[in-house]
Amino acid sequence: MTPLQLVFLLTAALTLVAAFRVVTTRNLVHAALWLVVTLFGVAVLFVLLNAPFLAVVQVVVYIGAIAVLFIFAIMLTRREMRDQGAQLNKGWWAAALVSLLTFGGLFWLTRSWDGFTRTAAPLPTGQDTLSALGKALVSPDAFVLPFEIASVLLLAALVGAVYVAYREK
Amino acid sequence: MTFWNDPIHFIAEWLRGLFIGWGMSGDVANVLIALIGAVVLASVAMVLDILLVWVERKVVARFQDRLGPNRLGPFGLFQPFADILKLIIKENITPAGADKVPYNIAPILAMTAVLLLWAVLPLAPTIFGVDLNVGALYLIAAGALGTLAIILAGWSSNNKFALIGAFRAVAMMVSYEIPMVVTLLIPTILAGTMSLNGMVKAQDVWFVVLSPLAVIIFLISAVAELGRAPFDLNEAESELVAGYHVEYSGMKFGLFYAAELLHAFTFGGFMAVLFFGGWRGPWAEQYPLLGLLYFFVKAMIGYWVFMWIRYTMPRIRIDHMLAFNWKFLTPLAFVLLMVTALVDKALAGAETWVYALGMFLANVVVAWVTVEILRAYSRRRRLEEEAPAKQVIRTGVEGQAAHH
Amino acid sequence: MVDAWLYIGLFLLVGIVIPGMAIMISWLVAPRKPNPVKQSPYECGVETVGESRVQFKAQYYIFTLVFLVFDVETVFLFPWAVALGKLPLFVALEGIVFILILVAGLVYAWRKGMLEWV
């Protein structure tokens, strides 16, 4: 086992444990904090995949903005932070079945995919991946349409937020 | 390669030879050297932090027409060591009902978030932790961890002041992050890279000449990000006592305090790197230690400006703070970004001085238009304010006329 | 590249250990004499009324929501800014269009009074 694999396994384990705690912990703020740990673990995984830009974006957007948004939302909506009710409701077996089926399906689909065993081609050295990404985002023969649509999507999110928050004065 | 033109690699090579001589494998030696480098850099930052306590206290004293610490050692230089000793032997009070784990993580995380910035700070041509190709965004990512530390501290303390302070701090930090990120995009455009050392190398003309407005926007949003006056409403001693760290005592409080000071100095350093040529200066390329000196002088000047602002300005109200950001700074930053991008494309092939002049003039035009818009707005507001008063007088006169 | 990030990882470790050590030392030498009065939440000597973790103004949430939108936007802009020098003019303009669409969103939010604190 190479050190890189060891780091991967530790990070993956941490991410999974944290994700599990997000669901099981009874304190909502703790759940949000465990979510931060999960997201940080994912950022480390991005680094291991040689995608530093995505790793940094993961921290900036998910930890810096979305986790903060979650914590604000929790503080707004609930006065009582500690949930005393049952954690499972009557439909738990159906949810478990669906999750199991989804997991099984994904497992079955990816089982035969050779991407797991094949060694990825090394990245061409000396190439500025960020610059290449930037070019790809705005080049007409690449991803300019998704890029602009992303902008419209963000606009829609903003308008939606305005609508939710809007009060007749 | 000698010590004088590349000290860090000189020492690293020497250490590597030493470790391999001891029978280590090359990889282990590399990791060990990286670890030693990290420990040294972080320790330098911490020692500097101790000196900053003295600098800050001395400078604030001068601003307030006092002498400041002057008893311990020459010019009171040993005062911060006494401060640390005192902080260490003070009792760490954990308030009842505190959420223990987040409560103890928060001060550590606050310090870590600041220390992490030092890993990418280019101190000299060859003296830096690491040169990431996402350096500019890394700065924001480390800031996100700092935000998290404040939320943790405020929430876990089980204190209303702390929670209110934390909420204000976070609302402010996230709001001012937008103009800051946008002004980070401007050096990125000018240098064509996000690597911080690359940005310094690209500054044949300092970016402060190319984009003075960006420097001002960055300075304002940095002050807000640091939570220093006039944006210190997260601490607001007259209303919230101390804000998010009100329940902290002893060394845990000390860490918040130290993190704040080091953060301010680090942002002075980033100002220097992004806009004032970082380590650049005469002979800096040949003698990195000279570059180190230039960097620290520039960073210290930046830090001094932060102190100057802090001890001159009164605190602003939260609604004014948010309105100033969202209705003024953010639109201005976006306009400046678009103008910079357009001018950059228009003058792409031009001579350096034409490019610099064009950029500078574009900034002047943006600033002038901004001032004109503000003037028109304030004139309209003034007329609106004055208008009802006049009407009252007129109706009064007419009313009297009707009586007659 | 992973080498550079290995350094960042080590630095993160060091950055946690150094302040951690400061707290550890203080934990070893500092006195520990807790009592209920000392541990009560500090409210300038007044007894705490009700829950400490109070509910908050919705405005905090709304401003964070607006922030989130612009944060994601700027993340998209970084690769564009890096590549700008190597792009033809009309391709570069697409980034400007991207910004303009979102500035329109900011103006909309402004007109709807979403950027007001009260």
Q: Among B316-325, B351-360, C26-35, C45-54, name the one with the lowest average pLDDT.
A: C45-54
The count of residues in chain C is 118
Q: Are B103 and B156 in contact (CB under 8 A)?
A: yes
Q: Which fold has domain C2-111?
A: Methane Monooxygenase Hydroxylase; Chain G, domain 1 (1.20.58)
B127 to chain C, any CB pair closer than 8 A? The answer is no
Q: Is the predicted pLDDT of residue B90 greater than 70, yes or no?
A: yes
The pLDDT value given to residue C1: 46
- Give which of B8, B91, B184 to mutate to test C binding, by max C Cβ within 10 Å: B91
Tell whether A54 is within 8 A of chain C (Cβ).
no
CB neighbours of B400 closer than 8 A, spacing ≥ 6? none
Q: What's the mean pLDDT in B105-116?
A: 90
Contacts of A143 (CB under 8 A, 6+ apart): A136, A137
Q: Long-range contacts for B344-348 (Cβ within 8 Å, ≥24 apart)?
A: B344/B189, B344/B190, B344/C84, B344/C85, B345/C84, B345/C89, B345/C92, B348/C85
Q: What is the mean pLDDT of residues B124-133?
A: 78
In this predicted structure, the answer to whether residue A1 has a pLDDT above a threshold of 70 is no
Measured in degrees and rounded to the nearest 5, phi and psi for residue B101 equal: -65, -55
Structure tokens at C97: 């269009």
Side chain identity at residue B396, one-letter code = G
Residue B378, token pair as written in the block: 């304030």
Contact between A151 and A141 under an 8 Å Cβ cutoff? The reply is no
Contact status of C58 with chain A (Cβ, < 8 Å): yes
Using CA atoms, how far apart are residues B80 and B46, in angstroms rounded to an integer? 12
Give me the mean pLDDT over the C28-56 stretch: 74
Tokens of A132: 């290449």
Instruction: Return the amino acid letter for A161.
Output: A
Report pLDDT digits (tens) over C27-38.
888 888 888 777
pLDDT for B68 equals 81
Give C-chain residues touching A64 at CB under 8 angstroms. Answer: 71
CA separation for the pair B317, B287 (Å, rounded): 48
- Displacement of CA B98 from its chain's centroid (Å): 30
Q: Does C61 touch chain B (CB under 8 A)?
A: no
- Whether residue A66 and residue C68 make contact (CB cut-off 8 A), yes or no, is yes
Give the integer Cα–Cα distance in Å for C46 and B215.
45
Residue extents of the structural domains in chain C: 2-111
Q: Tokens 């005469």 belong to which residue?
A: B282
Q: Which of B193, B208, B207, B190 is nearest to B341 (CA)?
A: B190
pLDDT of residue A124: 63
Instruction: Say whether pLDDT at B25 is over 80.
Output: no
Alpha carbons B166 and A71: distance in angstroms, whole number = 12
Q: Are C65 and A161 in contact (CB under 8 A)?
A: yes
Taking only residues 25 to 54 of chain C, the set having a beta carbon closer than 8 angstroms to any beta carbon of chain A reads: 51, 53
Flag the least confident range among B85-89, B327-331, C32-36: C32-36
Contact present, C73 and A151 (Cβ < 8 Å)? yes
Mean pLDDT of A134-157: 82
The pair of structure tokens assigned to C54 is: 């109070």
pLDDT of res. A98: 94
E-state strands within chain A: none
CATH number of A1-82: 1.20.120.1200
Q: In this structure, what token pair is assigned to residue C59?
A: 């405005």
Between CA B226 and CA B231 the distance in angstroms is: 8
pLDDT tens for B138-150 read 888 888 888 888 8
Domain ranges, ordered by start, for chain B: 90-381
Task: Give yes or no for residue A143 having a pLDDT over 70.
Answer: yes
* Side chain identity, residue B140: I
This model's pTM is above 0.95? no
Sequence-ordered list of residues with C-beta below 8 angstroms from that of A101, at least 6 positions apart, any chain: none
d(CA B250, CA B107): 11
The percent helix, strand, coil of chain A (3-state, each to 5) is 75, 0, 25
Cα diameter, chain B: 112
Per-residue pLDDT of C68-97, as tens digits, reads: 888 888 888 888 888 887 777 777 788 888
Query: Model confidence at A18, in pLDDT bands (50, 70, 90)?
Result: very high
Q: Which of A39, A28, A24 is nearest to A70 (CA)?
A: A28
pLDDT exceeds cutoff 50 at A169: no
Residue B189 to residue A113: CA distance in whole angstroms: 41
Least-confidence region, from B297-306, B324-333, C48-57: C48-57
ipTM over 0.90: no
Q: pLDDT tens for residues B219-255?
A: 999 998 888 878 877 676 677 777 788 888 888 888 8
Separation between Cα atoms, residue A12 and residue A38, nearest integer Å: 9
pLDDT tens digits for range A84-140: 667 777 888 898 999 999 999 998 888 877 777 777 676 666 567 777 787 777 777
Contact residues on chain A for B138, CB-CB shorter than 8 A: 56
